[in-house]
Structure 1
Amino acid sequence: MRKRILIVGGGYVGLYTALRLQRKLRGPLKRGEVEITVVDPHGYMTYQPFLPEAAAGNLEPRHVIVPLRRVLRQCKIINGHVTSIAHARRTATVEIAAGEAWPVDYDLLVLAVGSVSRTLPIPGLAEHGIGFKTIEESIQLRNQVLGLLDRAASTRDEEERRRCLTFVFVGGGFAGVEALAELQDMAHDYLKWLPEMEARPRWVLVEATDHILPEVGAELGVYTVEQLRRQEIEVLLDTRLNSAVGGRIELSDGQVFEAGTLVWTAGVKPNPLVNATDLPKDDKGRLKANATLTLEGHPDAFTAGDNAAVPDLTTEGAFTAPNAQHAVRQAKCLADNVVATLRGEELKPYKHAYVGSVASLGLYRGVAQLYGVKVRGLPAWFIHRTYHLTRLPTLNRKARVLTDWTFALFFRRQFVALGSMRDPYREFDIATGRRDQPSAADTRARASS
C-alpha cells in the first residue's frame, strides 16, 4: 500500500527534509510506493541569514531563495496555505485561494511551518513597523531606506529631513544587528552620491535587555556594542519602545523623536497554524516533540524547527534554540526517522554538538564563536560568509552567491529603490484616469509605510 508523506512548510526543515527523503527513498518514489507532498504558500525557501546582504545590495535577492519545484522534482508541490490539521483523521485542509480549499490526506505528517514575528501591543507598531523575516520585507526595507535618503536630500523642510534620516531597529538579536549594520553600510556608501546633503542619518538600536547577540557570548556582545557605536550607531540597552503612533518614537528612557523607519526584530513565536491542529502544544504554543522529533503520543507525526519544543539532550530540561543551525541538523535526523518509520526500524534521537555562532557587522566586520574560540573583525566576517555559503542549498545557489560576491569586489553596489514594486498599478491607473496624481503628503506616507 502506498505511503503518503505530507510536509507542511517549505522552509529550512521542510526543504532539507524533503531533499533527504528524495535521496533515501529514490527507489520507492519511482515505483510509486511512497508519495511526498510539500505544501507552502510561497513555493520557495528563503535562506534567512543572507537577507541582510540582500537588503544591502551585496546579493541579488533571487539568489537567496530556492525554488521548491526546481529542487524537489520527485515531490508534489502545492502552493497554498494549510488552514487546519485534523491528525486524528490524518487530514489537512489546504486553501489555494479565497474560497478554494480541499482536504489532503496523509499517512505520515511533517509539520514545519516555522515562526512569525512576535509583536507586542505597542501603540503605532502595527501601522508603522516592518519585520525582517522574508525576502519581501528585505526588499521593501531597502527601497524604503534609499527612498528616504533621496527625499531627505531633496526636501527643504529640516523637520522632514530629520524624520527621513532616522532609522530605528528594535531587537538586538542576529536579525536586528545584522540588518542594521548592513543597511547602515549601504546608506554610508550611498551618501557619497548625495554631496548636497550635509545632514547625516541617525541609526538607533533599541534592546530591552542589558546585552545584544547573546548567542556569541558576553565578551563578543560587548565588543559588538563598541563596534556599532564606532560606526555611529546608537545602541540603547535596557530600553523599550513604548509608542510609535504617527511615526513618533517614544522610548522608556524618555527620548521622543520622529522616525521614518521602524524595524521590529524583537523575537519570534510559533506559526499560528500550530493552534489550528489537534496536536499537543506546550505553554508557549510550540508543538511538544520527543528527542526523536516525533510529537508526544503521535509516532506518525514529526516536527522540528522554530514551531517545535525539541529537547536539548546536552542540557537537562532545556530546549534547542530556534535558529538555522538546529533546523538544518534536525531536518537530517527527522528525515532519517521518517525512513526508519516506513521500514519499521528504530528511531534515533536528535543530539547536537554545538559548533558556535557567527554574525556580520557590515562589510568586512563580524564576530564569531566557534568551538569556544572567539574571533572578531575581518576573519569573523570571512567565517560568517564561508559557513553560510556551505549551508546554502544546491550548487546552483552557491555558485550564484559566490558570483555576486566576486563581482562586488570589482564593482560598486547598485543603489536603486524600486518603489513601484509596492504599488505596480499606480502609473497605469493615473494614465487611465482611475487614480489622481498623488500629492506630496501621499508620497510621504507611502515612503514611510
Structure 2
Amino acid sequence: MTRPRIVVVGAGFAGLNALRRLERRIPQGRAELVLVAPNDYMLYQPLLPQVASGLLTPQSIAVSLHRKLRRTRIVPGAALGVDVERRTVVVRKISGEYSYERYDRLVLAPGSVTRTFDIPGLMEHGRGNKNLAEAVYLRDHVLAQLELAHASDDPAERDERCTFVVVGGGYTGVETAASMELLCEEACKLYPDLHRHIQWHLVDIAPRLMPELGETLGRSALELLRARGIQVALEVTVREVTQDKVTLTDDRVLPCRTLIWTAGTAPSPLIAATGLPTERGKLLVGPDLAVPGHPEIFGIGDSAAVPDLSKDDGAFCPPTAQHASRQGPVAADNVVASLLGRPGREYHHRDLGLLVDLSGRDAVARPLGVEITGSPALALTRAYHLYSVPSGPARTRVAVNWGIRALLGGEVCRLGFLNRSIETLVDIEEYSRYLKPEQAREKVSLALGE
C-alpha cells in the first residue's frame, strides 16, 4: 500500500507546529512528510525589532528546522503554484531549479508579505523589517546615517540623515520605533553632537495607536513613546518619498533619508496563484481549516481566512502568531482524521491578549484582559517570549543577549551589510572602485576647481 504524502508549505508558526504534531501523531513509516520552505529555520518574528536594534543577535530568533523536525523531508525553495487537479505543488528551489511535489494532503501556510501602496518613491526609498536580512540591513543603515551625519559639516545633511520616519502604528511599527530610538540614544554617546538633530517620527492613518490594546493601554503606549522623544502623528500617512525627504498627507515635509515601512501585511501571492476561493486575498477555509470543495487541502496562518467562532458577526481570525501557533496542531489533527475517514474538529481559540516590548524598561501588556504597564509588563512580556520561542538553544541565546545588554550595555557598530555584493567569492565593486593615480589627480583637481 502506498504511503500517503503530506506536503506543508511554509515553516512559520503555523507550518512548523502542524508538522511537529504530524510527526507525533503519525507512526514512523506510515506517511511521508514534506516541507517546502525557502529557509532551514523558523523565524520568531515578534522579536525582529530587537534584532534591528542590536539587542538580539540574528541567530537568536532563527530556530533550526532540523532540530525540531526529525522525519520530515525539507525542500529548500518557494512554492510558486499548485495544480489542484493533479495534486502537485510547483516549487522553485533555492538553486533556481524546479521540483514538483505530489501530495495526498496539502497544508498551505505560506505566511504573508509586506503590504505596500502606490505611493511615489516608496518602493525605491522605503526600508522594511519583516525578515532577518531586512532587520540586520536596517541596523547598518541607521548607524551609517549617524556616522555620515557626524562626519558632515552641513546642517541640512545632518538633519536629513538624523530624521527617521516609521510608518505603521501596529505591533511591529511601535516596537521598531521604540527599539531603534534606543539604538540612536546609545549611538549619541559616541556622537553627542548629533543629539539635537535626531528625530524619530511614527505615523499611522488610524485614529488610535494599536487599537487592539484598548483605549487605556493604547494611550499609555502613546505617552511612553512621546516621553522618549518619538513624535507620533495619527490619522496621517505618507504622500511621497524621495531620497532626502518625506512628504506627509498633512502637508508636512520632513528632511529624511530613512523611511521604515511597517504598515501591515498582505497574504502570500501563492494563495491567488492556486485559483482556490479567497476572502480578501486569503484562502477561504471552513471551521475545520479545510478548503470547501477540496477536503484534501487545508489553510492556516496569516494567509488563511479562518472563521473566528468566538464571535457571531462572521469575523475571521486576525493574522497573529497566537492564532497561527494554535491552528497548526488543529490542522494536523484534521489531516490525520481525513486520512482515517473520520470527521475533523473545529478551530476554537481564546485570545490571550497582547504584549508590547518598548525596549529599555518600558512595556505594556494586556494578558487575558488585564491591563499592565511598567516593570511587571516588561517581565511578563519577556517571560512570554522565552516561553514561546520553540527551541531550547534559541531561548538560551535570547536570555543571554538580554542579560549581556542589562549588565554590559550594547555595542554600537555596523556589520558591513551596506553596498556590498555577498553572492560571489570576490566583490567586484571592491576592486573597480579604486582609482588609478591619474584618476585620483583628476578628481582632486576638479574638487579644488583647478
TM-score w.r.t. the length of structure 1 is 0.92
Aligned to 1:442: none
Q: For residue 370 of structure 1, what is the amino acid of its counterpart?
A: P
What displacement does 1:406 show? 2.0
Q: For residue 232 of structure 1, what is the amino acid of its counterpart?
A: G
Aligned to 1:2: 3
What displacement does 1:138 show? 0.8
Deviates more, 1:325-334 or 1:418-427: 418-427
Contact between 2:182 and 2:359, CA under 8 Å: does it hold in 1? Answer: yes
Partners of 1:263 and 1:277 in 2: CA distance: 31
**Secondary structure of 2:47's match?**
helix
Contact between 2:79 and 2:90, CA under 8 Å: does it hold in 1? Answer: yes
Deviates more, 1:382-391 or 1:421-430: 421-430
What displacement does 1:342 show? 2.3
Aligned to 1:174: 171
**Secondary structure of 1:419's match?**
coil
Contact between 2:38 and 2:94, CA under 8 Å: does it hold in 1? Answer: no
Equivalent of residue 294 in structure 2, options 294, 298, 313: 298
Contact between 1:128 and 1:247, CA under 8 Å: does it hold in 2? Answer: no
1:313 equivalenced with 2:309 (yes/no): yes
Residue 53 to residue 118, structure 1, CA distance change in 2 (3 Å): same
Deviates more, 1:90-99 or 1:271-280: 90-99
Aligned to 1:75: 72
* Equivalent residue runs for 1:227-242 within 5 Å: 227-242=224-239
Aligned to 2:17: 16
**Secondary structure of 1:116's match?**
strand
Q: For residue 288 of structure 2, what is the amino acid of its counterpart?
A: T
Partners of 1:299 and 1:60 in 2: CA distance: 42
Deviates more, 1:294-303 or 1:413-422: 413-422
1:275 equivalenced with 2:272 (yes/no): yes
Note the residue ranges of structure 1 that are not aligned, 5 or more in a row. 440-449
Partners of 1:100 and 1:428 in 2: CA distance: 25
1:211 equivalenced with 2:208 (yes/no): yes
Equivalent of residue 128 in structure 1, options 120, 125, 129: 125
Residues 389-447 of structure 1 deviation map (CA, whole Å, 9 limit, x = unaligned): 1111122211221122222222111112113465145985356x43446x9xxxxxxxx
Aligned to 2:344: 347
Partners of 1:341 and 1:118 in 2: CA distance: 35
Contact between 2:137 and 2:417, CA under 8 Å: does it hold in 1? Answer: no
Contact between 2:158 and 2:197, CA under 8 Å: does it hold in 1? Answer: no
Equivalent of residue 402 in structure 2, options 401, 405, 410: 405
Partners of 2:307 and 2:83 in 1: CA distance: 25
What displacement does 1:245 show? 2.6
Aligned to 1:419: 416
Contact between 1:13 and 1:330, CA under 8 Å: does it hold in 2? Answer: yes
Partners of 1:92 and 1:247 in 2: CA distance: 44
Contact between 2:288 and 2:334, CA under 8 Å: does it hold in 1? Answer: yes
Equivalent of residue 245 in structure 1, options 242, 247, 258: 242
Note the residue ranges of structure 2 that are not aligned, 5 or more in a row. 440-450
Q: For residue 94 of structure 1, what is the amino acid of its counterpart?
A: V
Give me the CA root mean square deviation: 1.8
Equivalent of residue 434 in structure 1, options 426, 432, 435: 432
* Equivalent residue runs for 1:51-66 within 5 Å: 51-66=48-63
Contact between 2:140 and 2:416, CA under 8 Å: does it hold in 1? Answer: yes
Number of aligned residues: 432
What displacement does 1:344 show? 2.5
**Secondary structure of 1:306's match?**
helix
1:329 equivalenced with 2:326 (yes/no): yes
Contact between 2:301 and 2:327, CA under 8 Å: does it hold in 1? Answer: yes
Contact between 1:359 and 1:384, CA under 8 Å: does it hold in 2? Answer: yes
Residues 36-55 of structure 1 deviation map (CA, whole Å, 9 limit, x = unaligned): 10011122211011111111
Residue 285 to residue 196, structure 1, CA distance change in 2 (3 Å): closer
Equivalent of residue 376 in structure 2, options 376, 379, 387: 379
What displacement does 1:195 show? 3.0
**Secondary structure of 1:227's match?**
helix
Partners of 1:295 and 1:136 in 2: CA distance: 33
**Secondary structure of 1:393's match?**
coil
Deviates more, 1:377-386 or 1:302-311: 377-386
Partners of 2:338 and 2:177 in 1: CA distance: 44
Partners of 1:260 and 1:50 in 2: CA distance: 25
What displacement does 1:308 show? 0.6
Contact between 1:44 and 1:68, CA under 8 Å: does it hold in 2? Answer: yes
Residues 144-184 of structure 1 deviation map (CA, whole Å, 9 limit, x = unaligned): 11111111111111111001100000010000000110110
* Equivalent residue runs for 1:34-183 within 5 Å: 34-97=31-94, 100-183=97-180
Aligned to 2:446: none
Contact between 1:88 and 1:278, CA under 8 Å: does it hold in 2? Answer: no
